[in-house]
Amino acid sequence: MNRDQDRVKSFTRRALLLGGAQVVLFSALTGRMYYLQVVESEKYKVLSEDNRINLRLLPPPRGRIVDRYGVQLATNKQNYRVIVIAEKTSNVERTLERVGAVVELTDYEKRRIMRDVKRKRSFIPTMVRENLTWEEVSRIEVNAPDLPGVSIEVGQSRHYPYADQTAHLIGYVAAVSEKELTGDPLLELPDFRIGKNGIEKMHDLRLRGRAGRSEMEVNAFGRVIRELDRREGQPGEDIQLTVDMGLQSYAHQRFGEESGAAVVMDVTNGEVLALVSAPSFDPNLFTNGISGENWRGLLNNEKAPLSNKALSGQYPPGSTFKMVVALAALDSGMVTSDHRVFCPGHRDLGNVRFHCWKKGGHGTVDMTQGLMHSCDVYFYDLAQKIGIDRISEMGKRFGLGAQLGIELPGERPGLMPTRDWKRRVLGHGWSLGETLVSGIGQGFILTTPLQLATMTARIASGKAVVPTLTRHAAEMASNNGQLVSAAHAADGPDFPSLGLPQSYLAVARAGMNGVSNVPGGTAYNARIKEKEYALAGKTGSAQVKRITMAERSTGVLKNEQRPWKDRDHALFVAYAPVDNPRYAIGMIVEHGGGGAATAAPIARDIMLECQKRDPVNKAPSSSLAALGPLPMPRETR
Cis peptide before 493 (omega within 30 of 0): no
8 A C-beta contact, residue 161 and residue 73: yes
8 A C-beta contact, residue 443 and residue 504: no
Strand partners, 541: 570
Distance CA(556)–CA(567), nearest Å, equals 12
8 A C-beta contact, residue 630 and residue 210: no
Query: Residue 13, exposed/middle/buried by CB under 10 A (0-12, 13-18, 19+)?
Result: exposed
Question: Count of CB atoms within 10 A of residue 175's CB?
Answer: 19
Query: Residue 596, exposed/middle/buried by CB under 10 A (0-12, 13-18, 19+)?
Result: buried
Strand partners, 349: 352
Cβ within 8 Å of residue 340, ≥6 positions away? 364, 365, 366
Distance CA(308)–CA(581), nearest Å, equals 27
The full length of the chain comes to 637
Question: Count of CB atoms within 10 A of residue 566's CB?
Answer: 13
Q: What is the DSSP letter of 497?
A: B
Distance CA(361)–CA(565), nearest Å, equals 28
Q: Is 151 a catalytic residue?
A: no
Distance CA(361)–CA(339), nearest Å, equals 17
Catalytic one of 157, 277, 319, 392: 319
As a 3-state breakdown, the chain gives helix, strand, coil percent values, each rounded to 5, of 45, 20, 35
Query: Residue 161, exposed/middle/buried by CB under 10 A (0-12, 13-18, 19+)?
Result: middle
Q: What is the DSSP letter of 559?
A: G
Distances (CA, A) of 264 to 145, 307, 505, 606, 615: 59, 19, 21, 9, 11
Catalytic residues: 319
